[in-house]
């Protein structure tokens, strides 16, 4: 399982607001290029984001579904990218102070041909991508606070 973490310069409520806004998904998830629809009730378990992945015109249309949700604490997703496979992604939030939130992101390929890649190869692909995703999440969550970066 590829795991990364980042201390986000925003209160836990601001970080959760980004995650709970399915329309912001393409703004922080590296590779997601377009949100086509978000199921009513997102992020309740079973709801999905209908997204496109990849650069135009080589986009793949797929979905990401909520597996588990504990508001302001945890969001577990089943992210599909067929024909490559699907991954289980868990985002965990921990308030470090009123204005700092640790976000942990763990991802494991669970289905499809990519699941047969050795762990080190999966980590080489996923860890840099997920670090960048958390950096983007940081910018979006921090932007919701209206304060400049330090």
Structure tokens at 2: 């590829």
- Higher-pLDDT residue of 113, 48: 48
Mean pLDDT computed over 63-83: 93
Tell me the pLDDT tens digit for each residue of 84-103: 788 999 999 999 999 999 99
Q: Nearest 5°: phi and psi at 64?
A: -125, 130
Q: Nearest 5°: phi and psi at 130?
A: -75, -30
Tell me the pLDDT tens digit for each residue of 124-143: 889 999 999 999 999 999 99
d(CA 24, CA 34): 10
Residue ranges and CATH numbers for the domains of the chain are 2-145 (3.30.530.20)
Cβ–Cβ contacts within 10 Å for residue 85, how many?
17
DSSP label at 121?
H
């Amino acid at each position: 399982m590829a795991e990364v973490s980042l201390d986000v310069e925003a209160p836990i409520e601001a970080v959760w607001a980004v995650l709970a806004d399915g329309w912001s998904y393409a703004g922080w998830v590296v590779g997601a290029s377009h949100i086509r629809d978000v199921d009513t009730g997102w992020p309740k378990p079973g709801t999905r984001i209908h997204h496109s992945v990849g650069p135009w015109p080589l986009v793949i249309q797929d979905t990401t579904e909520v597996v588990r949700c504990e508001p302001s604490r945890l969001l577990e997703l089943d992210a599909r990218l067929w024909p490559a496979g699907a991954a289980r992604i868990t985002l965990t939030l921990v308030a470090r102070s009123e204005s700092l939130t640790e976000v942990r992101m763990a991802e494991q390929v669970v289905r499809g041909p990519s699941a047969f890649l050795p762990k080190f190869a999966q980590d080489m692909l996923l860890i840099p991508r997920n670090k960048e995703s958390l950096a983007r999440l940081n910018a979006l969550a921090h932007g919701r606070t209206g304060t400049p970066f330090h």
